[in-house]
Structure 1
Amino acid sequence: MNRTIIIGTRGSDLALWQANHVADKLNDIGISTEIKIIKTQGDNILNLRLDKLEGKGFFTKELEEHLLAGTIDLAVHSHKDLPTENPPGLKIAAVSEREDPSEIILILKDCVDFSKKLSVKHNGIVGTSSNRRQSQLLAVRPDLEIEDLRGNVNTRIQKLRDENYDAIILAKAGISRLKLDLSEFYIEEIEPTSELVPAPAQGVLAIQIRDNDEELNTVLQQINDAEVANCIAVERKVLNLFNGGCHMPLGCYCEREDDIFKVWTTKANSGEELPDRLYVESIITEGLAEKIVAKFDLEKRKLAKKVFISRELSEHSYFYRALAKHDIEIEARSLIKTVPTIHKLDSYIFRNVDWIFFSSKNGIEYFFKLNPVLPKDVKFGVVGRGSEDALRQLGKVPAFVGESSDVAEVAEEFAAIANGTHILFPSAKDSLRTVQKALSQETQITDLTIYETILVDDAAQSFADVLVFTSPSNVEAYFIDNLLEPGQQIVAIGVSTGKKFEEMNVPYILPSSPDEIGLAEAVFGIDIK
């Protein structure tokens, strides 16, 4: 190509980074470029919430007009800002690689409380103008106060510095691209499959051109990320089918792993409403968005009327509130009891310990009841966000959280960072030791049995539509005397619990994560006949 490509962009620091990033990609393949700054309507409107602007063309309309007029050849957009339909005469010719789509919470250091989920102090003021973020944030922290936050990334951060808020939420992608020094704040990162599902196409750049510019379209295929395009097509189709735009509290994130497309979706009707969450898997993307959207149509499908779960449950817990929203009756009772096996710890056991690893909330509870005097720099590892919450309630933040439902995967992830160290494992009698088995021979392992599990006698049968089992021991206790009723469906919190049902040749559903959010997603996705 002999022509110089004129790239149109907004003038913010982040927009300019994005334009220069695409320019560098084109320069690398021998294409000369020129950047032209264009002011958009979104840059001038300062009195509207950001979610009223994103996805409505306020940040893109003028760029698209210049494209159609031929004064620029290419426009670079943050993909999540784009409406789901291109204007006539334009198309998205390529997308970038995906920057980490996680959200981050920046917290003033004197407003940090490690005993709380997400580390923001009780009743803290959090800045965001996104209904999507607000609904999900209040779902896990209903005590927080949400205030509007406008401006570009630097403006928002300055508002936090000025103490207009105790914390603010931003997309990690923008922070990473601008390489900002945020050491004055405490930073909490929220992965896209956990408490805050990102906006469709978050972290991806869209390269828009005239649809008749075949020469440029051909060139751009050299920098197009086809894998990312495939995933975000699902996310944006979901957004399109809901026909809500970005003011809708909608999060959707798709990733491909081992040739399986995994999609997390969250949707509410307002920023104040507890969202419904769904997790689905598919080997193809065709019809996947339609399947997801259909699951949220509760006029055409039936949810469970009653759900049994094999643990005690607070009315304030996420799982309880997610089911109570739909008037689902909850039968919550544990089928096991636990008792301590030791009542005193010798201090020598902590000598040179680098890590303490917990595989359950019970392990945390019994360990800290022993009032251990721990080394100052010891790090904690846990399985699941439920165990993370239990540790946080004691004012301790784990350095490692294994979020997979498969403890074998958690073991591999932990081994990658902890091999060669000294690790203490407080655990139950007859624990499976899955994590220990994954560690190298150079790793010093200390097993500490601190409690044992006892099955209750004569566990009463449940006639609920869905039975949720939270441990292998609860499965054993229930099925000593009971059988499944016709039509009952099973949810097993993790792979080890699921193996009990495999031994019984009983089908079960495995949540995306071994915690109450994962369980709520699984139950919401079940159709009752």
Structure 2
Amino acid sequence: MSRKIRIGTRDSELALWQANTVKNALEALGYETQLIPVKSQGDLVLDKPLYEFGITGIFTKTLDVAMLTNEIDIAVHSMKDVPTALPKGIVEAAVMKRAHTQDILVHKGTDFLNEEGIIATGSLRRKAQWLHKYPNHEVVDLRGNVNTRLQKLQDSDWNGAIFAAAGLERINLKPESYVDLKWMIPAPAQGAMLIVAKEEDDFCRKAAGALNHERSQICVHIEREFLRTLEGGCTAPIGALAVIEGDKIKFHGALFSVDGSQKFEVRKYVELSQKDGFGKACAREILEAGGAELMKEIKASINNL
């Protein structure tokens, strides 16, 4: 184990927490490691909604390049930020044990929920689901790392902002004034951390592979298969959650229109032994029910932004 494993990460507080979690786990197994923080374009450009970049992987692209140019050996990502198709030469090495999957509303009081209100989020998925439930509300764009977004909420006249519970919990920033959004379907792979490595790097793949959590991996793979089958490379308001219950997998997924007025939803159980192709089958059910036409409309509307 004489080789030092260079761990690439975004340099936000949350990303560094995730990378340090991997660093500590690898060192506990006897490996020598080094953190190498890198700024992504998604962190540098904060005046545009993510979908206006026109590409997927805005938070992972810089680390992909660093890995392929041999500046880092592995990279740690929030898995929900990772495109469903990894770049050539980069492979999944491990999925860490999944944390809290739920979204939460950080607010300044909840009286507004049955009236008019302003909610902030940079996510099309969260925006569409919020407007589906609260069509009389306004949803404004919110960008930046977790700390920046919390401060923007504090400094604004918004009623609240939507966050992933896991992100706030990991860096001890979850405030007292929040509501669990149990009705909101999370992003595919929300709450999961992904380690990627070069396909040819057997040493790092073996090292990271020791950290893989199989049950988490099964669930996020189903969710991402659902996402990939639906969106075909387009950013769209899609939620998905797979949970293992005994010897069965429970799945809940949905596709929304950008304005939240349309919703195509699927809820299914399958035997754990029948997991292969489950996400794709759920997605096809939505596409055949009218989701295919909605996806065309979503792609057209995003392209016209």
Is this contact kept in 2: 1:55–1:83, CA < 8 A? no
The separation in 2 between residues aligned to 1:236 and 1:35, in whole angstroms, is 28
Partner of 1:236: 224
State how 1:428-443 maps to structure 2 within 5 Å: none
**Selected match of 1:261 from 249, 258, 274:** 249
Q: Once the 2 structures are TM-superposed, how far is the Cα of residue 257 of structure 1 from its aligned partner? A: 0.2
Deviations 1:398-431 (A, max 9, x none): xxxxxxxxxxxxxxxxxxxxxxxxxxxxxxxxxx
Is this contact kept in 2: 1:26–1:33, CA < 8 A? yes
**Selected match of 1:158 from 143, 151, 161:** 151
Partner of 1:132: 125
Question: Residue 143 and residue 55 in structure 1: after superposition, are their counterparts in 2 closer, same or farther (change >3 A)?
Answer: same
Question: Residue 263 and residue 54 in structure 1: after superposition, are their counterparts in 2 closer, same or farther (change >3 A)?
Answer: farther
Is this contact kept in 2: 1:120–1:167, CA < 8 A? no
1:76 aligns with 2:76: yes
The separation in 2 between residues aligned to 1:92 and 1:156, in whole angstroms, is 29
1:292 aligns with 2:285: no
Partner of 1:219: 207
The separation in 1 between residues aligned to 2:102 and 2:234, in whole angstroms, is 17
Q: Once the 2 structures are TM-superposed, how far is the Cα of residue 159 of structure 1 from its aligned partner? A: 1.3
1:123 aligns with 2:116: yes
Is this contact kept in 2: 1:103–1:172, CA < 8 A? yes
Partner of 1:190: 181
Partner of 2:40: 40
Q: Once the 2 structures are TM-superposed, how far is the Cα of residue 120 of structure 1 from its aligned partner? A: 3.1
Partner of 2:187: 199
Is this contact kept in 1: 2:129–2:260, CA < 8 A? no
Q: Once the 2 structures are TM-superposed, how far is the Cα of residue 292 of structure 1 from its aligned partner? A: 0.6
Instruction: Give the total of aligned pairs.
Output: 289
Q: Once the 2 structures are TM-superposed, how far is the Cα of residue 223 of structure 1 from its aligned partner? A: 0.8
Q: Once the 2 structures are TM-superposed, how far is the Cα of residue 272 of structure 1 from its aligned partner? A: 3.3
Identity score, percent: 35
Is this contact kept in 1: 2:265–2:286, CA < 8 A? no
Is this contact kept in 1: 2:130–2:260, CA < 8 A? no
Q: Once the 2 structures are TM-superposed, how far is the Cα of residue 273 of structure 1 from its aligned partner? A: 2.5
The two structures have a TM-score, normalised by structure 2, of: 0.89
The separation in 2 between residues aligned to 1:91 and 1:272, in whole angstroms, is 35
Q: Once the 2 structures are TM-superposed, how far is the Cα of residue 144 of structure 1 from its aligned partner? A: 1.7
Partner of 1:248: 236
The separation in 2 between residues aligned to 1:299 and 1:145, in whole angstroms, is 29
Runs of 5+ in structure 1 lacking a partner? Answer: 114-118, 302-529
Is this contact kept in 1: 2:42–2:50, CA < 8 A? no
- After superposition, the CA RMSD in angstroms is 1.9
The two structures have a TM-score, normalised by structure 1, of: 0.52
SS in 2 for 1:296: helix
The separation in 2 between residues aligned to 1:69 and 1:18, in whole angstroms, is 23
Q: Once the 2 structures are TM-superposed, how far is the Cα of residue 246 of structure 1 from its aligned partner? A: 6.7
Partner of 2:100: 100
Deviations 1:204-223 (A, max 9, x none): 11101000111221222211
Q: Once the 2 structures are TM-superposed, how far is the Cα of residue 244 of structure 1 from its aligned partner? A: 4.5
1:143 aligns with 2:131: no
**Aligned amino acid, residue 207 of structure 1:** I
Question: Residue 135 and residue 300 in structure 1: after superposition, are their counterparts in 2 closer, same or farther (change >3 A)?
Answer: closer
Is this contact kept in 1: 2:43–2:145, CA < 8 A? no
Which one has the bigger helix percentage? Answer: 2
SS in 1 for 2:156: coil
Question: Residue 211 and residue 255 in structure 1: after superposition, are their counterparts in 2 closer, same or farther (change >3 A)?
Answer: same
Partner of 2:295: none
State how 1:460-479 maps to structure 2 within 5 Å: none
State how 1:411-426 maps to structure 2 within 5 Å: none
Question: Residue 234 and residue 181 in structure 1: after superposition, are their counterparts in 2 closer, same or farther (change >3 A)?
Answer: closer
Q: Once the 2 structures are TM-superposed, how far is the Cα of residue 174 of structure 1 from its aligned partner? A: 0.5
Partner of 1:363: none
Q: Once the 2 structures are TM-superposed, how far is the Cα of residue 275 of structure 1 from its aligned partner? A: 1.7
Is this contact kept in 2: 1:75–1:208, CA < 8 A? yes
Question: Residue 42 and residue 170 in structure 1: after superposition, are their counterparts in 2 closer, same or farther (change >3 A)?
Answer: same
The separation in 1 between residues aligned to 2:12 and 2:32, in whole angstroms, is 23
**Aligned amino acid, residue 91 of structure 1:** V
Partner of 2:6: 6
Is this contact kept in 2: 1:104–1:188, CA < 8 A? yes
State how 1:489-500 maps to structure 2 within 5 Å: none
1:172 aligns with 2:160: no
Deviations 1:295-346 (A, max 9, x none): 1134689xxxxxxxxxxxxxxxxxxxxxxxxxxxxxxxxxxxxxxxxxxxxx
The separation in 2 between residues aligned to 1:152 and 1:137, in whole angstroms, is 21
Is this contact kept in 1: 2:165–2:174, CA < 8 A? no
The separation in 2 between residues aligned to 1:81 and 1:254, in whole angstroms, is 17
1:282 aligns with 2:270: yes
Q: Once the 2 structures are TM-superposed, how far is the Cα of residue 127 of structure 1 from its aligned partner? A: 0.5
Question: Residue 69 and residue 203 in structure 1: after superposition, are their counterparts in 2 closer, same or farther (change >3 A)?
Answer: same
Is this contact kept in 2: 1:132–1:271, CA < 8 A? no
Deviations 1:224-258 (A, max 9, x none): 11111111111111111113557301001101001
The separation in 1 between residues aligned to 2:171 and 2:233, in whole angstroms, is 27
Is this contact kept in 1: 2:132–2:259, CA < 8 A? no
The separation in 1 between residues aligned to 2:234 and 2:247, in whole angstroms, is 29
The separation in 2 between residues aligned to 1:104 and 1:165, in whole angstroms, is 15
Question: Residue 297 and residue 246 in structure 1: after superposition, are their counterparts in 2 closer, same or farther (change >3 A)?
Answer: closer
**Is the radius of gyration larger for structure 1 or structure 2?**
1
Partner of 2:303: none
